[in-house]
Each structure stands twice: as C-alpha cells, then as structure tokens.
Amino acid sequence: MVKIRLRRLGYKKNPVFRIVVLNSTTKREAAPIQHLGYYNPKTKEMQLDKQSALDWIKKGAQPTGTVKFLIDNCTDEGKLNYVKKETQKLSKKAQAKLQAEKEAAEAKAKEEAQASSTEEVSA
C-alpha cells in the first residue's frame, strides 16, 4: 500500500517536514517514490504540489491524518490557509470568575424582566 506522509528533517526542536509518497512498509527515512512538497510547522509555511497529491489519492494512496489536513487546507497554489484561533485559553480561576459574572448578569436580567412585568400588570 502506498501512503502520503511526512518525512522529518531539521535539527533538534526545530522540525521541518517533507511531504512524500512512500510504500507503507518502508521506514520514514526511506527513499520516497515522489516528493510533493514541504511543511514548516513553526512558521506555518508550506509548499505543496496539490494536483500531484490528489492524483496519488485517486490512484489509491492513503494520506496520513496530518497530510490530509494539509491537503484540505491549502490553496490551489499549494500555500497553507492558516487562520490563527482568536480564542484564548483561560486558567481555572479565570474561567470560574467569568462564569460567576455571566450568572450574575443573567440573574440581574431576570430580576429586571420580573420588575418590568410587574409594572405592566399594575399599570
């Protein structure tokens, strides 16, 4: 079976990957059938021959999960469409504080709604 997968290059703690087509029984560093491009996860830079990758998939090559994500999220020129997430991770303390503020706001809105409904009834 033929697979499309990543081949690790680069030095310690600075990986760079080549996207290659390999036989699934060979090692990661074995001689590839074809080089399709490269991917740098630190800078989110990628160059991929998307048409060749899709041709290999049509022929029956199985992309790994990461390679499938890269193929699905690249432009026709082979550049990565990377959108940085806007959400921030909060600590448990900050999450609890935010939750308490939401609950307080909901309670205040509920009280105001009850007050306005009692005013309408009395009027």
Between CA 81 and CA 44 the distance in angstroms is 9
Task: Identify the weakest region by mean pLDDT among 1-5, 21-25, 97-101, 114-118.
Answer: 114-118
Average confidence (pLDDT) over 8-34: 90
Partner residues linked to 45 by β-bridges = 40
Contact between 78 and 19 under an 8 Å Cβ cutoff? The reply is: no
Count of beta carbons in the 10 Å neighbourhood of residue 35: 13
SS3 44: coil
Binned at pLDDT 50, 70 and 90, residue 122 comes out as: low
pTM of this structure:
0.65
Who's near 2: CB < 8 A, 6+ residues apart? 21, 22, 23, 24, 33, 56, 59, 60, 61, 62
Mean pLDDT of 79-92: 80
